Amino acid sequence: MTCVRFAPSPTGNIHIGNARTAFFNFLFAKKNGGSFVLRFDDTDLERSREEYAQGIDTDLRWMGIAPDLIVRQSQRFALYDAAAQKLKGMGRLYPCYETADELDRRRKRQIARGAPPVYDRAALQLTDDDRAALEVQGRKAHWRFKLEERTMHWKDLVRGESRIEAGSLSDPVLIREDGTYLYTLPSVVDDIDLKITHVIRGEDHVTNTAVQIQLFEVLAGAAPIFGHHNLLTTASGEGLSKRSGALSIASLREAGIEPLAIAALATLTGSSDAVHPVASLEELGAAFDLSHVSRGAARFDEAELTTLSARTLHALPFATIAPRLTEAGVTGAKAESFWLAVRGNLEAFIDVRLWWHVVDQVVDPIIEDADFCNAALALLPQEPLDLQTWSHWTSAIKEQTGRKGKTLFHPLRLALTGRESGPELAQLLPLIGRPKAAARLSGRSS
């Protein structure tokens, strides 16, 4: 069965670029009837924080991504220790004692000679006595994975045939000298243990893939399928960072951006499908295909989010929005016609409160011309008011007063809503109802 994972480290708030990876995985799982694992890469105990993990969980759920399983690497060290033991036993994980300074100097010398700055495997030449002597000096080993020098091939779901010469890479450090794990090994061990079938992640991990395929082969015999997508950047081409907090999902939520707008923008930017508003993740999933993701840049304009968010709201069906309307206090028999009346006018969902106030609460009317409003009141039809009432009523007023266009409609809007502009009055009038309309036309707050 298809199983994918989204594996953020809880060291900050996730941003829209991280959401791109999350949506790619989630939509891929849905499309293939598979499951979606949320894995917190929290092996760095110092930088990882529980509040960030909780924030990520909240952000994902708010965007409609409910994980089938959540795991934390910090609770799985026994598995990593066992894998490290196995690698040591096979001679594929070897101790090194160079300090960061020594490695740096060595790299500089290599570069000066015009040689690639690849780790020279000097530690493999150490004898047991050498190692013992270094330990006596107080040095502690960090551990490197011995790469096989061969070409690693894989068929990337996004980038197609891919290859990396493992011989051109340094043997990666898997365990630091304080015994903590870097990302590489725990990720592979978990992908094996959780039976991950597809690893879909940003293209900043392409180089890791050569190393990880070798680890998969040693530890499990075979590697999963990989897909590396282009990273979202701002319009000026800058990358996004968890640290800056810019374009974090939490800040977009606070700014009133619709989650489905984030989903559409995060998923469709930088692909052959134009970014467009969607009414559900199912709809987005139907449009989504990893093979449509381009290899070029995935730039997006922050301003686009606001317009896409408004356009998303304008088309959202009542059934989708009903729970949020109830939460906002929009309840009762007229909730659905209210939504259909106002949605096309909303920039942000929060504005529903304002229009619900206009149709359901007390409004102070603005009376520009009392005589005109009284004449209109006299012509206001009896209940029930419906979607046709407005045109019949205003035709009658036009006939009697000779007014037309703005001079006819604008004073009625000011009196009925207390506002200069807003949704169509033909739709608002039946929602306001005759008693309130009549009171407002005669200048009373109602």
Binding site for ligand GLU (CB under 6 A): 7-9, 41, 183, 187, 201, 205
Neighbouring residues of 436: CB distance < 8 A, sequence distance ≥ 6: 363, 446
Q: Which residue number, 11 or 374, has a Cβ lying nearer to ligand GLU?
A: 11
Tally of CB atoms within 10 A around 191: 26
Q: Which residue number, 228 or 343, has a Cβ lying nearer to ligand GLU?
A: 228
Asked if 379 contacts 390 with a C-beta cutoff of 8 angstroms, the reply is no
CB of 174: closest distance to ligand GLU in angstroms? 14
CB of 419: closest distance to ligand GLU in angstroms? 47
Give the C-alpha separation, 361 to 47, whole Å.
50
Asked if 11 contacts 47 with a C-beta cutoff of 8 angstroms, the reply is yes
Give the C-alpha separation, 26 to 159, whole Å.
19
CB of 8: closest distance to ligand GLU in angstroms? 5
Record the tokens describing residue 286, joined without a space: 């139907």
Q: Which residue number, 47 or 150, has a Cβ lying nearer to ligand GLU?
A: 47
DSSP 270: T
Task: Return the bridge partners of 173, or none.
Answer: 144
Dihedral sign of CA atoms 10, 15, 17, 20 in order: positive
Give the C-alpha separation, 441 to 405, whole Å.
19
Q: Which residue number, 187 or 267, has a Cβ lying nearer to ligand GLU?
A: 187
CB of 143: closest distance to ligand GLU in angstroms? 20
Provide the residue type at 443 as one letter.
G
Record the tokens describing residue 386, joined without a space: 């419906």
Q: Which residue number, 231 or 408, has a Cβ lying nearer to ligand GLU?
A: 231
Give the C-alpha separation, 338 to 318, whole Å.
10
Q: Which residue number, 9 or 309, has a Cβ lying nearer to ligand GLU?
A: 9
Collapsed DSSP state (helix, strand, coil) of residue 384: coil
Q: Which residue number, 28 or 183, has a Cβ lying nearer to ligand GLU?
A: 183
Q: Which residue number, 181 or 338, has a Cβ lying nearer to ligand GLU?
A: 181
Asked if 430 contacts 385 with a C-beta cutoff of 8 angstroms, the reply is yes
Asked if 223 contacts 80 with a C-beta cutoff of 8 angstroms, the reply is no
CB of 202: closest distance to ligand GLU in angstroms? 7
Tokens 């840049």 belong to which residue?
297
Collapsed DSSP state (helix, strand, coil) of residue 387: coil
